[in-house]
């Protein structure tokens, strides 16, 4: 609860997650954008308001069922009259890009209406050309009868450039763990058959055999299923058996006893479940080599780009739906790795999963609701070892699953995993560890102490809230330089395809170049004296044309507007303010940092110099920066093979001091100061020279 930012006399539990301000019920009904939140179209609170309105509409809608047919997937959904095309797509399991989860603010959920009666909300996110071609936004179009739609090329997800992939990367992991200690140990036994002189029970005989191998049987649990199958298993291959034992914190458990001493090679999985993408490594548990790897989009992205939207979607549609989406992604990728290795899923006996707190909750069907409500408490921070079968992971049903623990609702197991790989918590050097996505997670410290925080970076770095923004998929402009004389851009595009949009690294390049070349001023506004064939009016705004229509995949100009620049400034301001406040809490400043480690997918194409120019990263010695790749997946790999690293994960999670920025006036002050290029206080950026 907190005081409403408009009506301080009213206490409210509604909080705008983007701007960290409380809003009362009165404000939720308010339609005047000047009054409380000029960014309301991208604000989850607005969504809640809209949801209430939607419920009223639902009540009055006729109970009529309509059919929606999707081309080219050839899938169909039956849905109530008045429901949106996005609802229909989610019901039909048709994946379309829906970054804002139906708030109508991202403009990514484009469909082409082929036939049928619909009601459309007017939107400025479609060009006149697109409207002429019957484009609609799925979330803003409501079915009134049977409808046929086509998913256009730009709405279909393309191959994502995911960090942590490639043989060179995975080969480097081998050797990080010298003493392999899987959670699930397989022991081959050749037991003495019973006699009249040795009439102990089968289970006691098994315990006796295990004890001889050095196994501690004093705290050994055995399930009923194992006991039921034990007599046959021991006699089928003449008292030769393979026993699977899982090592837990305070006890061990026999998970299976199978006849014979022949064992297929044991495999393990290190899985990084990101909000945007998922990475799976299939690992040989004997020598630690990564046999095959696969990556792909997290299917939950159909419910929004960030964790807040995913939680809202789980509240609306049930957590099981989100779990199913994540499992479908993970299991498809596991199948891919298994077929590349010509292996069987039953060989997978050990699994480590690393993901942020919301991803872990959703995967395990644990309600994540309270993560987004003050005081932002997760249901579970440290998970017991689970079995693959109970989660639904495609592995041997009794495979042991370790979920990386996380210290807070907005700093999760992916960050703990990243630290295991980065290792700076074992060193003297003062280090800043950064993982930027829709949420900016930061860890500061050394071997003596660790502080952590997260700041809502917003969706801009992932392409959300930006007219032509997209993730680093094929067709994304990832690098930009601008000729200082002609002001024409030189671009490089992911996958060498025709450009379809611009991703986070491309946007940082572009803003930095426009600032340095004098196209925009430090407020992020186009200079009024700027006139050039690259400048045009787009929806009543001045815009810079990055690629002309005849060069692009959609035959539309790809432009960057002042609103887009502002979205980026908000995101970079939140991240930089996060660094500043965290250092300040520790009584430190940027000059004291010895290392800055950047991790995650966003960092892979980041130009450090340009990120400093726009004020995203601090203006310190460039040699202090390093990029670590997908540290979450690498840390999961290390924990998969080592008992020591699994224990270390718990210690890291428990030792971090979490700093909450919500409601922090210091954070808001720093954030406001950072809404300038590079910063209100230019003395913080002495090396940045702008025209
Ligand atoms: S505009 Fe439809 S999902 Fe964002």
Angstrom distance (rounded) from CA 595 to CA 598: 10
Identify whether 645 is part of a domain: no
Identify whether 520 is part of a domain: yes
We report the CATH number of the domain holding residue 254 as 3.10.20.880
Order of strands across the sheet that contains 267-273: 290-297, 277-284, 267-273, 348-355, 400-403, 386-387
Angstrom distance (rounded) from CA 490 to CA 480: 6
Same domain? 623 vs 667:
yes
Angstrom distance (rounded) from CA 99 to CA 114: 23
What stretches of 562-653 adopt beta strand conformation (E)?
A: 595-599, 625-627
We report the CATH number of the domain holding residue 404 as 3.30.420.480
Closest ligand 1 atom to residue 102 Cα is 3
What is the span of the domain harbouring residue 476? 457-629+661-691
Q: Ligand 1 mean position to 157 CA, how many Å?
A: 15
Identify whether 425 is part of a domain: no
**Whether residue 303 has its Cβ less than 6 Å from ligand 1:** no
Q: What is the pLDDT of residue 21?
A: 63
Report the candidate in 552, 164, 560, 103 with the shortest Cα–Cα distance to residue 354.
Answer: 164
Percent of the chain with pLDDT over 90: 71
Chosen domain end from 205, 224, 259: 259
Same domain? 486 vs 569:
yes
Low-confidence ranges of the chain (pLDDT < 50): 31, 33-59, 61-62
| 5 HSE (CA, 13 A, CB side) | 16
**DSSP code per residue over 459-490:** SGGGTTTSTTB--SBTTEEEEEEE-TTT--EE
Cβ contacts of 536 within 8 Å, gap of 6 or more: 542, 543, 545, 557, 559
Identify whether 451 is part of a domain: no
Same domain? 213 vs 246:
yes
Identify whether 177 is part of a domain: no
Q: How many domains does the chain have?
A: 5
Same domain? 467 vs 612:
yes
Q: What is the pLDDT of residue 305?
A: 85
**Whether residue 109 has its Cβ less than 6 Å from ligand 1:** yes
Helix axes 643-655, 631-641, angle to 10 degrees: 130
Q: Ligand 1 mean position to 338 CA, how many Å?
A: 36
User: Radius of gyration of the chain from Cα atoms?
Assistant: 27
Closest ligand 1 atom to residue 109 Cα is 2
Identify whether 542 is part of a domain: yes
Number of H helices, E strands in the chain: 18, 31
Same domain? 467 vs 335:
no
Same domain? 371 vs 271:
yes
Q: What is the pLDDT of residue 1?
A: 63
Angstrom distance (rounded) from CA 87 to CA 106: 16
**Whether residue 110 has its Cβ less than 6 Å from ligand 1:** no
CA angle 117, 123, 124 (to 5 degrees): 145
Q: What is the pLDDT of residue 53?
A: 44
Angstrom distance (rounded) from CA 509 to CA 506: 5
Same domain? 530 vs 567:
yes
Same domain? 529 vs 674:
yes
Tell me the pTM: 0.86
**Whether residue 100 has its Cβ less than 6 Å from ligand 1:** yes
Angstrom distance (rounded) from CA 228 to CA 206: 14
**Whether residue 137 has its Cβ less than 6 Å from ligand 1:** yes
By DSSP bridging, strand 11-12 and strand 141-150 are unpaired
Q: What is the pLDDT of residue 28?
A: 63
Report the candidate in 104, 65, 85 with the shortest Cα–Cα distance to residue 148.
Answer: 85
Report the candidate in 635, 601, 164 with the shortest Cα–Cα distance to residue 417.
Answer: 635
Same domain? 91 vs 54:
no
Same domain? 130 vs 255:
no
- Its sign, for the CA torsion 363, 365, 369, 371, is negative
Closest ligand 1 atom to residue 98 Cα is 3
Q: What is the pLDDT of residue 49?
A: 41
**Whether residue 106 has its Cβ less than 6 Å from ligand 1:** yes
Q: What is the pLDDT of residue 547?
A: 96
Q: What is the pLDDT of residue 56?
A: 47
Token digits for 79? Answer: 């849905």
**Whether residue 98 has its Cβ less than 6 Å from ligand 1:** yes
Same domain? 241 vs 301:
no
Angstrom distance (rounded) from CA 275 to CA 298: 7
Chosen domain end from 259, 281, 314: 259
Cβ contacts of 349 within 8 Å, gap of 6 or more: 182, 184, 186, 244, 266, 267, 268, 285, 395, 396, 398, 399, 400
**Whether residue 104 has its Cβ less than 6 Å from ligand 1:** yes
Same domain? 462 vs 608:
yes
**What's the Cα-to-Cα distance from 96 to each of 158, 274, 312, rounded to whole Å?**
11, 18, 18
Q: What is the pLDDT of residue 103?
A: 85
- Name the closest-CA residue to atom 1, ligand 1: 104
Please measure the distance between the N-terminal and C-terminal CA atoms of the chain and give it in whole angstroms.
Answer: 46
Identify whether 277 is part of a domain: yes
Q: What is the pLDDT of residue 105?
A: 83
Q: Ligand 1 mean position to 576 CA, how many Å?
A: 28
What backbone phi and psi angles, to 5 degrees, belong to 149? -130, 160
Chosen domain end from 414, 444, 466: 414
- Its sign, for the CA torsion 226, 228, 233, 234, is positive
Identify whether 444 is part of a domain: no
We report the CATH number of the domain holding residue 114 as 3.10.20.30
Indicate the burial class of 303 (C-beta count within 10 angstroms; 0-12, 13-18, 19 or more). buried
Closest ligand 1 atom to residue 103 Cα is 4
Q: What is the pLDDT of residue 27?
A: 67
């Amino acid at each position: 609860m907190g005081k409403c930012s408009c009506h301080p006399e009213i206490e409210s539990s509604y909080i705008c997650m983007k701007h960290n301000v409380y809003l009362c019920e009165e404000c939720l009904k308010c339609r005047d954008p000047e009054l409380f939140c000029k960014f309301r179209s991208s604000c989850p609170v607005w969504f809640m308001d809209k949801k209430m309105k939607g419920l009223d509409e639902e009540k009055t809608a006729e109970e009529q069922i309509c059919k929606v047919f999707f081309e080219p997937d050839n899938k169909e959904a039956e849905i109530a009259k008045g429901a949106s095309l996005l609802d229909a797509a989610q019901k039909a399991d048709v994946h379309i890009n829906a970054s804002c989860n139906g708030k109508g603010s991202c403009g990514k959920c484009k469909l082409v209406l082929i036939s049928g009666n619909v009601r459309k909300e007017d939107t400025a996110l479609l060009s006149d050309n697109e409207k002429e071609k019957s484009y609609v936004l799925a979330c803003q179009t409501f079915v009134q009868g049977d409808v046929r739609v086509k998913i256009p090329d730009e709405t279909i997800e393309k191959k994502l450039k995911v960090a942590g992939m490639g043989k060179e990367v995975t080969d480097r992991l081998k050797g990080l763990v010298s003493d392999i200690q899987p959670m699930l140990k397989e022991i081959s036994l050749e037991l003495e058959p019973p006699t009249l002189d040795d009439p102990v029970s089968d289970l006691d005989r098994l315990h006796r055999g295990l004890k001889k191998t050095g196994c501690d049987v004093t705290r050994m649990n055995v399930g009923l299923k194992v006991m039921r199958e034990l007599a046959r298993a021991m006699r089928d291959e003449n008292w030769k058996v393979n026993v699977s034992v899982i090592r837990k914190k305070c006890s061990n458990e026999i998970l299976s006893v199978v006849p014979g001493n022949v064992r297929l090679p044991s495999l393990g999985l290190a899985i990084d479940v990101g909000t945007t993408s998922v990475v799976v490594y299939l690992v040989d548990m004997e020598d630690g080599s990564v046999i095959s790897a696969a990556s792909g989009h997290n299917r939950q992205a159909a419910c929004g780009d960030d964790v807040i939207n995913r939680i809202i979607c789980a509240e609306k549609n049930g957590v099981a739906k989100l779990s199913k989406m994540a499992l479908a992604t993970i299991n498809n990728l596991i199948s891919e790795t298994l077929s590349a290795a010509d292996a069987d899923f039953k060989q997978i006996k050990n699994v480590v999963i690393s993901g942020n707190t919301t991803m872990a909750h959703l995967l395990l069907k644990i309600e994540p609701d309270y993560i987004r409500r003050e005081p932002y408490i997760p249901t579970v921070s440290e998970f017991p070892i689970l079995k693959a079968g109970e989660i639904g992971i495609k592995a041997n049903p009794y495979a042991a699953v370790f979920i990386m623990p996380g210290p807070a609702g907005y700093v999760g197991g992916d960050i703990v995993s990243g630290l295991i790989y980065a290792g700076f918590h074992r060193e003297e050097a003062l280090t800043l560890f950064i993982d930027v996505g829709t949420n900016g997670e930061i860890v500061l410290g050394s071997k003596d102490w660790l502080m952590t925080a997260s700041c809502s970076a917003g969706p801009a770095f992932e392409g959300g809230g930006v007219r032509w923004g997209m993730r680093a998929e094929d067709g994304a402009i990832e690098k930009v330089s601008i000729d200082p004389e002609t002001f024409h851009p030189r671009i490089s595009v992911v996958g060498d395809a025709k450009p379809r949009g611009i991703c986070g690294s491309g946007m940082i390049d572009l803003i930095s170049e426009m600032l340095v070349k004098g196209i925009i001023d430090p407020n992020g506004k186009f200079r009024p004296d700027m006139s050039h064939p690259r400048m045009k009016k787009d929806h009543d705004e001045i815009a810079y044309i990055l690629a002309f229509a005849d060069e692009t995949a959609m035959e539309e100009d790809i432009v960057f507007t002042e609103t887009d620049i502002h979205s980026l400034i908000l995101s970079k301001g939140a991240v930089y303010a996060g660094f500043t406040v965290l250092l300040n809490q520790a009584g430190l400043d940027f000059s004291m940092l010895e290392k800055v480690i950047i991790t995650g997918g966003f960092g892979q194409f980041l130009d450090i110099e340009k990120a400093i120019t726009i004020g995203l990263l601090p203006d310190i010695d460039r040699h202090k920066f390093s990029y670590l790749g997908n540290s979450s997946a690498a840390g999961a790999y290390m924990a998969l093979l080592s008992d020591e690293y699994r224990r270390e994960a718990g210690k890291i999670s428990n030792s971090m001091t979490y700093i909450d920025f919500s409601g922090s006036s210091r954070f808001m002050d720093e954030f406001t100061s950072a809404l300038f290029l590079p910063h209100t206080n230019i003395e913080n950026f002495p090396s940045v020279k702008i025209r």
